[in-house]
Amino acid sequence: MLFSSTEFLLMFLPTTIAGFALAVQLISMRAGTAWLLACSLFFYAYWSPPLLPLLLASIVVNFACGRALFRNRSRSFLVAGLIFNLGLLAYFKYAGFLVENIEQIIGSEIVNLKIVLPLAISFFTFQQVAYLVDVYQGKADEPDFLNYCLFVSFFPQLISGPIVHHGEMMPQFRENARKWLSRSLVPVAFGFIAIGLYKKVVLADGLAPIVDQVFDHAANGGIPTTGDAWIGAIAYSFQIYFDFSGYSDMAVGVALFFGIRLPLNFNSPYKATSIIDFWRRWHITLSRFIRDYIYIPLGGNRKGKQRRYVNLVLAMLIGGLWHGAGWTFVVWGGCHGLFLIFNHGWRRFCPRLAITGILSLGAARAVTFFFVVVAWVFFRAADIDDAGKMLQGMFGLVSGTSVLEGGRPILWLTLVSLIVWFTPNTWQLFRDADPVVVPAAAGKAAEGGCFSGVLMRFRRSIIVPLIVMTGIVGLFVVVNRGNEAQRFIYMIF
């Protein structure tokens, strides 16, 4: 059941809201929590009922490990919990990848593994790993079982994040007087959902045919021309931008109906002026996890400059592998690790070259975007060979063949470029309503006013028409499209 489907928008969500309202009004907020939990489990089981027991088993085992850690902060309990979580992830997500690579090395088949990847296993596994580590370090309060179950399975963020932190969510689930369906939050919730829906079904899905045409050409053995290759790579960069941004917006909006504020997970990453800044804006909660539970435990920057750079690369390699069991994701993570090393080195040896003024700001954004686009090629390509064909075309190393016709791709890229770089994001539009929790990982990217530029003076006058327009267009596309809905890209992780 996709957020961008008629089943979700016209049936599941209204039913869930109505049931929650009745439970809270007629019984108690705890009854509403139980209803939300039941709906969240149904939402997960809707994809594949046989996989629901795996989610439930993960919740029960981690809750039990957490309780054991509260009573006795023994390292053995933490290790047991980590082995369970990482073991599940290793088997379901990486066993096939490992066997496949061993088979290629030895030149014969070992075993034919037919493992179905459970939906959202990367998200709920990392979420519970963080919880156990924080319990062991004395940073968490002991929850009751009902609230813990909802903490893990809350349907707005279960499938594609954000990777929520217990310190952000548990107090909200315990709060019996939270502002569900309040007059101040309902318009904001509708705004996030409408804009997120538009980003997904109009912008992201509209770019998909351009992307598929170019990358499919490479997958079929061809090499696109330099122009087509760059159009395809940039189009994918915008497709994944609007796809993930759209999901993040809709998740925030849906959660607000129940008085829950999710963490900010997406903050105009293509406005970043460096790769460091990019990771403060893109998938902010994953950046936080990588920093707090991988980079810092590896030693962070406490063991000298050289070790710091090694830790950066290792952390980003793990972050890349988290996205998928494939060498393309490993290379993507490694690229960003190297970019971060270069970024830190630049700050160290060229501290006086500060970014000031419109020209230097634009140049910094352009350079950052260039490296991000190049890395996205590995993220999108089916394998390293396909990525190599795309890069050969992009940098004119081999004469390619044209696959794109007409001016439609250029028109699309021009339109989305204007939206990305010259309009405020959804959080900035509704920032006064305090719709999200802003993680510390967002850093300076979350500071400053609501948004800059000429739109500031027109903010209030454009919000309502914008919501109405995007909502109507998005819903029209959803209804007209029928059963041809495209999954959100991050749902495969």
**Positive or negative torsion for Cα 363, 366, 369, 375:** negative
Q: What band does 97 get if pLDDT is binned at 50, 70 and 90?
A: confident
Q: For residue 459, what pLDDT is reported?
A: 52
> Is the bond preceding residue 162 a cis peptide, omega within 30 degrees?
yes
Confidence class of residue 261 from pLDDT cuts 50, 70 and 90?
very high
Q: Look up 344 and say whether it is catalytic.
A: no
Out of 165, 283, 323, 344, pick the active-site residue: 323
Confidence of residue 449 (pLDDT cuts 50, 70, 90): very low
Three-state secondary-structure class, residue 266:
strand
> Can you give the pLDDT at residue 47?
85
The answer on pLDDT for 455 being more than 60 is: no
The contacts of residue 85 (CB under 8 Å, 6+ apart) are: 58, 62, 125, 128, 129, 132
pLDDT value, residue 451: 43
Q: What 3-state DSSP class applies to 401?
A: strand
Q: How far is CA 67 from CA 30, 61, 63, 168, 434, in A?
A: 21, 10, 6, 19, 33
Q: Which of 410, 404, 374, 393 is nearest to 218 (CA)?
A: 393
Per-residue confidence (pLDDT) for residue 474, from 0 to 100? 66
107 CB burial (10 A radius; 0-12, 13-18, 19+): exposed
| Environment class of 423 (CB within 10 Å of its CB; exposed 0-12, middle 13-18, buried 19+) | middle
Asked if residue 450 has pLDDT above 60, the reply is no
Give yes or no for residue 467 having a pLDDT over 70: no
pLDDT confidence bin for 176, thresholds 50/70/90: low
* Predicted pLDDT of residue 445: 66
Is residue 468 scored above 70 in pLDDT?
Answer: no
What is d(CA 433, CA 450) in angstroms, rounded to the nearest whole number? 11
Provide, rounded to the nearest whole percent, the portion of the chain with pLDDT above 70: 88
Which tokens belong to 424? 């405020």
For residue 65, give the nearest of 93, 44, 50, 86 by alpha carbon. 86
What 3-state DSSP class applies to 437? strand
